[in-house]
A and B are shown apart, each in its own frame.
Chain A
Amino acid sequence: MAEKKQFQKGKMVPVPSVSIIPERDLDKSPILECSHLGIDFGGLTAVNEFNVTVGRTEIAGLIGPNGAGKTTVFNLLTKVYQPTRGTILLDGLDTHGKTPSQVNRMGIARTFQNIRLFNNLTVEDNVKIGLHNQEKYSMFSGILRLPKYWRQEKAAHERALELLSIFDMQDLANHQAGSLPYGAQRRLEIVRALATNPSLLLLDEPAAGMNPSETAELMENIVKIRDTFQIAIMLIEHDMSLVMGICEGICVLNFGQIIAKGTAEEIQSNPTVIEAYLGKQQ
């Protein structure tokens, strides 16, 4: 069992949009601002009045009981679903009407709750697909193998190995992605998302199915990623040791509504949150 590790967290301060962001991010504009975000599926309101601001280098947490709408929020942010109401500002730019691939190019990358890798391709190719929009050569340079192709492919190969080395996976580069063990597949998804050069990384249950020592390692790596890439990370997680250990601002969802926002300490002592998770005290 890994010993309990303390992570340095920033001091959280309020911003005008009724949210809190780390104090160090205060002089920069927030990376993500959601206001009045909501979606209805037919008559069912899945998410409503979702107002969240994420600081530029914040690690934010999104928690809540099963079926609270956490993954729906991620799908709204990445435009898998088009929101019924509200606006999403990414780095001050409205993402209204954008497609998932356009939103990715604007700077949001994500992982999936049920792993979605390109299973028939190698680990390296998976990362290179993440690098897709950073390689700039046309189909014809590719077919005719022009010098530009060789230069950029060499750069992509090196960059892919460099990214894989975050999780010490460079030795697995030639393995087939679908044949990797579960934990490695989750890590590869994070690497692939990072390869798209995001400014906001969304992680959907990154620690699902991991044992406590793997989770501890993942926590260190998430903080390391934030520090090296200077990006914001928002994660959905059921493992409270992870959420309380590294998340600076935490947002609790229940039945599609935000029931609490605050730091780990505030959330842990919030009676509404305790009620949502454990039920009303008799």
Chain B
Amino acid sequence: MKKINKNSLNGFINYGIVIAAFAVIQALLGMGRLSNSLQSLLVPACCYIVMAVSLNLTVGILGELSLGHGGFMSLGAFSGIAASILLQNAIPLAPARLAVSMAVGALAGALGGVIVGVPVLRLQGDYLAIVTLAFGQIIKNIIMVLYVGVDERGIHIAASSERFDLAPGGTAIIKGPMGAVGVTKLATFTAGFILILITLAVVQNLVNSRAGRAIMALRDNRIAAESVGINTTKYKLMAFVTSAALAGAAGALFGLNYSSTGASKFDFNTSILVLVFVVLGGLGSIRGSIIAAALLYVLPEMLRGLGLNDFRMLIYAIVLILVMLATNNDQLKALLGRVIPKRKGAVTSG
């Protein structure tokens, strides 16, 4: 193309930041300068970046509040783990199995998104927040009682341990409250890096296309968007399901990073944590989401020694309230506008 417009330039900068960060971390890893505890944070940090960017699609770009993003992550995690165990013999190559598992996770997330989105996104108002809040809890509670296993007779699914009659040679995939145990750790930092790049490509290309413009039009003014012939439900659903699918893929990667994963890892706190990343990074700003997720995930882990960890959720809540107060304060906004002129234009996509 003759001239690169501002939006695609912003997109390239985002790819650049991610690639540069990956290169620096790889170099540090090669030199052995990263501590073990930091190394263990790399894959989850990638997952949270993907979670934040995908939630930004729903909250910042579509303008609908979702409080159940952890639920989609959970769906992706357990379906991804199940896929990786079931396909152990069919696909011996670990990276290929990881990719397929992540695709299965994305499908499961998308399916969850359709189930929640189809009835709820027809309504106007805050119903999505209420229903997704419940959805996250429901998924958690279902997986808490779910037993899934495989033996030579096929796949077994049961809702209690008594009815779970796995043959002696079989493998249990999900064992109720214990979650998934004995998972082969397939996740690698490189896979996380690739997933971030895919997420960026999907979200940024979507935003700069016909569909993305329709989604942003719905956010800015629903009545006007309908008056120019935009199908409200279709585009709301498109954004929401894409967001849920990416969360599912992130969940699969997250689940395959640990040898055991319980449903309680994806509770309400996880959803709120990701929302905090999105709000602090800036609604609608992809770059903000990446940076906020990376910093806010890694910093508290590094500061664990300070004894602040018990107050982590409290601190997030206070910071979230302060940010909301500050960004809705006209005097403060006017002051910021004077200090940083022309920052208004950066809202659409960064």
- Choose from A104, A139, A176 the contact partner of B226 (Cβ within 8 Å): A104
Minimum C-beta distance from B89 to chain A (A)? 32
Minimum C-beta distance from B286 to chain A (A)? 15
Asked if A193 is at the interface (CB within 8 A of a chain B CB), the reply is yes
Alpha-carbon distance A247/B231, docked complex (angstroms): 33
B227 touches A143 (CB 8 A): no
Alpha-carbon distance A178/B344, docked complex (angstroms): 10
Asked if A218 is at the interface (CB within 8 A of a chain B CB), the reply is no
Residue of B210, B220, B223, B231 ringed by the most chain A CB atoms within 10 A: B210
Encode contact with B along A131-154: 1 for CB under 8 Å, 0 otherwise.
011010101001111000110110
- Choose from B6, B223, B226, B347 the contact partner of A120 (Cβ within 8 Å): B347
Alpha-carbon distance A211/B213, docked complex (angstroms): 33
Asked if B118 is at the interface (CB within 8 A of a chain A CB), the reply is no
For residue B208, which residues in chain A have a CB less than 8 angstroms away from its CB?
142
Alpha-carbon distance A172/B347, docked complex (angstroms): 18
For the complex, would chain A's binding face be called helix, strand, loop or mixed by DSSP majority?
Answer: helix
For residue B5, which residues in chain A have a CB less than 8 angstroms away from its CB?
174
Interface size of B by CB at 8 A reads: 35
Among B70-78, B152-160, B199-207, which stretch is in contact with chain A? B199-207
Encode contact with A along B212-249: 1 for CB under 8 Å, 0 otherwise.
11101101110111111111100000100000000000
Minimum C-beta distance from A239 to chain B (A)? 23
Interface size of A by CB at 8 A reads: 44
A145 touches B205 (CB 8 A): yes
Minimum C-beta distance from B52 to chain A (A)? 19
- Choose from B209, B223, B284, B344 the contact partner of A176 (Cβ within 8 Å): B344
Residue of A102, A119, A142, A153 ringed by the most chain B CB atoms within 10 A: A142
- Choose from B1, B219, B221, B344 the contact partner of A116 (Cβ within 8 Å): B221
Asked if A80 is at the interface (CB within 8 A of a chain B CB), the reply is yes
A132 touches B220 (CB 8 A): no
Given A100-B226, A174-B6, check contact A121 B210 (CB 8 Å).
Answer: no
- Choose from B6, B216, B226, B232 the contact partner of A118 (Cβ within 8 Å): B216
B216 touches A121 (CB 8 A): yes
A132 touches B230 (CB 8 A): yes
For the complex, would chain B's binding face be called helix, strand, loop or mixed by DSSP majority?
Answer: helix
Question: Closest residue to A157 on the B side, CB-wise?
Answer: B5
For residue A133, which residues in chain B have a CB less than 8 angstroms away from its CB?
229
A139 touches B209 (CB 8 A): yes
Question: Closest residue to B226 on the A side, CB-wise?
Answer: A100
Among A22-30, A55-63, A105-113, A249-257, which stretch is in contact with chain B? A105-113
Alpha-carbon distance A261/B232, docked complex (angstroms): 37
Encode contact with B along A151-164: 1 for CB under 8 Å, 0 otherwise.
01100100000000
Asked if A128 is at the interface (CB within 8 A of a chain B CB), the reply is yes
Alpha-carbon distance A224/B232, docked complex (angstroms): 33
For residue B6, which residues in chain A have a CB less than 8 angstroms away from its CB?
174
A179 touches B227 (CB 8 A): no
Asked if A99 is at the interface (CB within 8 A of a chain B CB), the reply is yes
Alpha-carbon distance A176/B348, docked complex (angstroms): 10
For residue B202, which residues in chain A have a CB less than 8 angstroms away from its CB?
143
Minimum C-beta distance from B154 to chain A (A)? 35
Q: For chain A residues 82-135, which have a beta carbon within 8 Å of chain B?
A: 99-102, 104-105, 109-110, 112, 116-122, 125, 128-130, 132-133, 135
5 contacts between A and B (CB under 8 A): A101-B229, A120-B348, A122-B348, A129-B214, A176-B344
For the complex of A and B, 9 pairs with smallest distance between CB atoms: A142-B209, A104-B229, A116-B224, A118-B220, A100-B226, A129-B217, A143-B205, A139-B211, A133-B229
Q: Can you name 20 extra interface pairs (CB under 8 A) apart from A101-B229, A174-B5?
A: A80-B223, A100-B226, A100-B227, A101-B232, A117-B221, A118-B217, A118-B220, A118-B224, A121-B216, A128-B210, A129-B214, A132-B214, A139-B238, A143-B206, A144-B205, A145-B205, A153-B209, A156-B210, A178-B344, A192-B228
Interface residues of A (CB under 8 A from B): 78, 80, 99-102, 104-105, 109-110, 112, 116-122, 125, 128-130, 132-133, 135, 137, 139, 142-145, 149-150, 152-153, 156, 174, 176, 178-179, 192-193, 195-196
Interface residues of B (CB under 8 A from A): 1, 5-6, 201-202, 205-206, 208-214, 216-217, 219-221, 223-232, 238, 284, 344-345, 347-348
